[in-house]
Structure 1
């Protein structure tokens, strides 16, 4: 029996070289439509599937490979005499290699102005069927869905090592490919048909086709971890590691928190995060200035933290950062002087990244289930002054900074800031008044004045006690969502203490 390879691809990267390699290994290449035309244009001998089946491509290309002779050639168990007899009876040649990738559904569905008809036409039918058939019969068939695998497959064929373990790996990859494809259709199609979408699929579908990158370890050294990076990454996921040790789960968790907060600040700045929460944020036109302001908030907690800057780093900023032990530094860019400064800190992980990607649903595994929620994004809040006194311009600027940082701190969170930096952060406490006390204590430990500062609270004050703690320390303005049954008592206390208070109308719990 002659060896046959079926090649039908939408992604034509590497197609010509792969097909030439197959021919050189003695394969007859079967193909369809545009793939066959591309191969013939390149001068490569190819046989049309319709010639093999005796049935033409019909319905505008919707039916090309859906034929028993094709699937018998792919699915036959060549170790089963009964299967071989069927192949002989119907003059079917087995197909040993199936190289197929699918219509670009996701790219089509995401294109501005695309019609529902165009989206539907890009739902591949024959391609997934071929891939699944070949993957099922991987004991006898090599299925190739990724052009990046062409070279390895050709090398294995040439060396006689396209063995079952190799084919098994290709089969698993193929089933993941079709699973991701079907999930993408399930996620995007409802929108184009005017039907409700699925938050669950919105959360899961993008990751089914992601590349799995092993991490140093998980949250603790005895835990394994991987980083799922999309094939076309954006935001922090598109990072380039310039130097330093291998990244761990905790490194990326804190880098993500720091990177998001750095771009949520009301201006350019630097953020320091430790164990999932911010311990300092500073604004400035220069990274060095912003960093000095950020680290001053809590220099003790900043030790061993993750630093993110929305500003490019120069030599001055790098020199100041290098004076502190840090795990990770993330920035949009570094100049040569900054690179040279960091080279002396060989273990320091230095990353460059793109601006944060479009917000995706948040996933959290619980015992026996999965929680999915939309991302907490945007600042479309209408602040309402609820006290006799409205905040002044400096207080308003400080409130904005404190409020935005509080959104990124573990609840209960209370953040105190001036116009350029945080000066005290209390977070992760079951009691809001304790978060207030910690914020005040942190400022005192750092030698920072709270006179005339402003505080942001991620949720309402259930009692006046938190406001009283802040006022006693020198805070003169507070931003909080409101919504407590004791709001009138809290407002009365603010008026009595001379505090300007605004209700934001939106809570920002983070657990």
Structure 2
């Protein structure tokens, strides 16, 4: 057998063939090729004067391309040249006896099956003719014989491979051939998976789901709990900013729970685009959300939402974390009187060099995990999500909208009917009560509904406008079996507790604890100057009720009975936003009217399980 190197090149995507042809010409290669690929290669070679020969597959096999190109490389002269074991003397002799020459490199990419199937009006014949047979067979053959054959399944790597050949006298290292084989077999697996899903749908009407995850690695010392091991896999098809592929710029490795909380934090903070916003997450639930004129102030206000639960939290920011904001994390007194808040992880578009340098100089923050995700609006937003079950998987459209209307402003009018396009339900939207919301309160209602959307059902969230156009969560009840307790026992209790603490500090009472002062804001002295205006001679209970009167209560789903409003009305709640759509709506509206509550129906439920 002669010592010439041979490459089988048969590709649909002709990108970078010029790079490949030039590179192979320097390393004693000849090319075996088919149809359109051979024509393009010959044009490149002739145009550039490369010293390399192109042989048609039909000249190797002794057969023409058959059946409109369905059979070209499916022949022992081709597959045998790829598959025979060069280290096995019997194989070598058998190849020689049958005039089979070695093929040392297989370059292949496949017919455009998926793009063809996705075209409107694509017929069964269209997709069948674009289902590759010979390409995958040659590729898998090269994978099987990876010890002797290289396989290139992506035009983007041609230049890198040629560079390695240049450094190694035309030879690919064992490690490279293994990596190329792993990539190629996964390429074929993805392709055959797409074939199976589409043909099963076309032939039987059955929907199948085949998903791929890569780069699996074990996570830290344990999983959700100490006795559990855990792993993380990457979905290579997701381009939307996410915690899995974020750039970690500081801190220790993320654990299982860190990823869950970072995911919840990022999803929530992306809901708020117009102002600097901070979301504090604990056990996948928002215990604090706030907007402000600066990220620093938003962080402080978000932390106030539940400073006890915020201990050990994951915090998301929708703006670059600057030095002032980082100093809050590192230096603000905590509940023990020491400097620094204990935070497990931070996730943001970016962190300024000054902020990063500052936190790197803090020994107490050496384990604080900091993730950068870049532009939060980048990538393609996934419109499908999945939930695994023991024995199956659920697939649904992502909950990507907030209201049945396009904007919150369209809710602030007399009630009217809209149709949910998916369920075809006729739903009421608008102001459904005799009492109307205050003028320019759309922002507060909108902020509250966004917070409720990202809180586990049954969810009640109480929010306030603490400064013109700036909002914060004061209390939330999450994951409750009934809506009455979520509001009347949890959300209202936390809001009451936070306002009581605030009153103690504003009134400069001796009973105000260091905890209360630490958890309020860095503007403590400024607040003291204006405290008399804020308190204005009110008792603690008067102050709390006055504040709650201007708050907005948001519910992720409808109130099935009036008891949900009965449970909170006595505390002074006067503003409610909820989806509506219950058979009990008339009694709930009646209760709201009795309590002089302004209530808005959105027409869109946001259960979160």
Correspondence for 1:455: 553
Mapping of 1:257-276 within 5 angstroms?
Answer: 257-265=264-272, 267-268=274-275, 269-276=277-284
Give CA deviations for 1:434-491 in whole Å, capped at 9, x if unaligned. Answer: 2112111222332364231111111122222221222222221111222333222222
Pair 1:503–1:325, CA change in 2 (3 A): same
Correspondence for 2:485: 434
Please, which of 191, 207, 213 is the counterpart of residue 181 of structure 1? 191
Pair 1:126–1:238, CA change in 2 (3 A): same
Distance in 1, matches of 2:80 and 2:254, equals 47
Given the two structures, how large is their TM-score scaled by the length of structure 2?
0.70
Mapping of 1:13-28 within 5 angstroms?
Answer: 28=30
Give CA deviations for 1:358-387 in whole Å, capped at 9, x if unaligned. Answer: 124211221121111111112341332222
Aligned residues: 500
Pair 1:127–1:359, CA change in 2 (3 A): same
Q: CA deviation at 1:300?
A: 1.3
Give CA deviations for 1:275-327 in whole Å, capped at 9, x if unaligned. Answer: 11111111123211221221111111112111111122221112113342212
Q: Decide whether the 8 Å contact of 2:317 with 2:347 is kept in 1.
A: yes
Pair 1:304–1:157, CA change in 2 (3 A): farther
Pair 1:215–1:59, CA change in 2 (3 A): farther
Pair 1:488–1:378, CA change in 2 (3 A): same
Please, which of 291, 296, 308 is the counterpart of residue 300 of structure 1? 308
Please, which of 216, 224, 227 is the counterpart of residue 219 of structure 1? 224
Distance in 2, matches of 1:157 and 1:465, equals 81
State the secondary structure of the residue aligned to 1:446: helix
Correspondence for 1:6: 8
State the secondary structure of the residue aligned to 1:251: helix
Pair 1:109–1:346, CA change in 2 (3 A): farther
| Structure 2 unmatched runs, 5+ | 332-340, 406-428, 466-470, 503-546
Please, which of 467, 479, 491 is the counterpart of residue 565 of structure 2? 467
Deviates most, 376-385 or 74-83: 74-83
Q: CA deviation at 1:397?
A: 2.3
Mapping of 1:298-377 within 5 angstroms?
Answer: 298-323=306-331, 324-344=341-361, 345-353=365-373, 354-356=375-377, 357-377=380-400
Deviates most, 371-380 or 176-185: 176-185
Q: Decide whether the 8 Å contact of 1:395 with 1:477 is kept in 2.
A: no
Q: CA deviation at 1:38?
A: 8.6
Q: Decide whether the 8 Å contact of 1:494 with 1:500 is kept in 2.
A: yes
Q: Decide whether the 8 Å contact of 1:395 with 1:452 is kept in 2.
A: no
| Structure 1 unmatched runs, 5+ | none
Q: Decide whether the 8 Å contact of 1:49 with 1:65 is kept in 2.
A: no
Distance in 1, matches of 2:13 and 2:144, equals 23
Correspondence for 2:404: 381
Pair 1:342–1:37, CA change in 2 (3 A): farther
What is the root-mean-square deviation in Å for CA atoms of aligned residues?
Answer: 4.0
Bigger radius of gyration among the two: 2
Q: CA deviation at 1:49?
A: 4.2
Pair 1:285–1:58, CA change in 2 (3 A): farther
Q: CA deviation at 1:153?
A: 8.4
Corresponding position: 1:281 with 2:286: no
Given the two structures, how large is their TM-score scaled by the length of structure 1?
0.82
Corresponding position: 1:398 with 2:419: no
